[in-house]
Amino acid sequence: MFCWYYVWTEAAGWKRIRQNAPLEHLRGEIPLPRCRDGFVRLGGIVGRSENRIPLEVASVEFLKHQADARGYMTEAQQHAHMASAMEALDPLVRPLANLFADPSHRQEPPGPTVIDAESRFTRRRYDAKHRWRPARETLEEFCRVVNSRAGTVLMVPR
């Protein structure tokens, strides 16, 4: 398995970063270059490999996080990010939490005539805050960088 991360800026394009860098950035430990809009923009790719040779892509994500002028996430930004992540997870975790909750604290699922769309809406809010869609030329550049590192064509822009 391989997991590669890149950071994007208007000035430098895509630059490879260490695998732990996104998590260290989220914890406020390291700065990453940010764009003019105040967001650090990341591209991540996970895939299958054999003998350290990448064979196929399993997933690609484009994430964005707010950062201060130095490129660090402030404590307030970290808390806001964690709160939105927990909000997005809450509808998925609630059924498990109900298994262990005191019966007086259990949340009952909606009735049979109510469609529970809460998880879909919270996921959309999270995606709107923390994911981004690169422009066509930015995506093409990302594919070139990834393919160059892989030594083969792993990605083709769509």
- Give the residue numbers spanning the domain of 48: 2-150
Q: Count of domains in the chain?
A: 1
Of 59, 71, 67, the closest CA to residue 33 belongs to 71
Runs of H (alpha helix) within 4-130: 21-26, 75-100, 118-130
Global pTM value: 0.79
Within-domain flag for 155: no
CA-based max dimension of the chain: 58
Q: What confidence tier does 104 reach under pLDDT thresholds 50, 70, 90?
A: low
Within-domain flag for 156: no
At 10-36, the pLDDT tens digits run 999 999 999 999 999 999 999 999 999
Within-domain flag for 158: no
**SS3 of residue 157 by DSSP:** coil
At 49-68, the pLDDT tens digits run 999 999 999 999 999 999 99
Q: Which neighbouring-strand residues pair with 41?
A: 8, 64
Question: Which backbone phi and psi does 61 adopt, to 5 degrees?
Answer: -130, 145
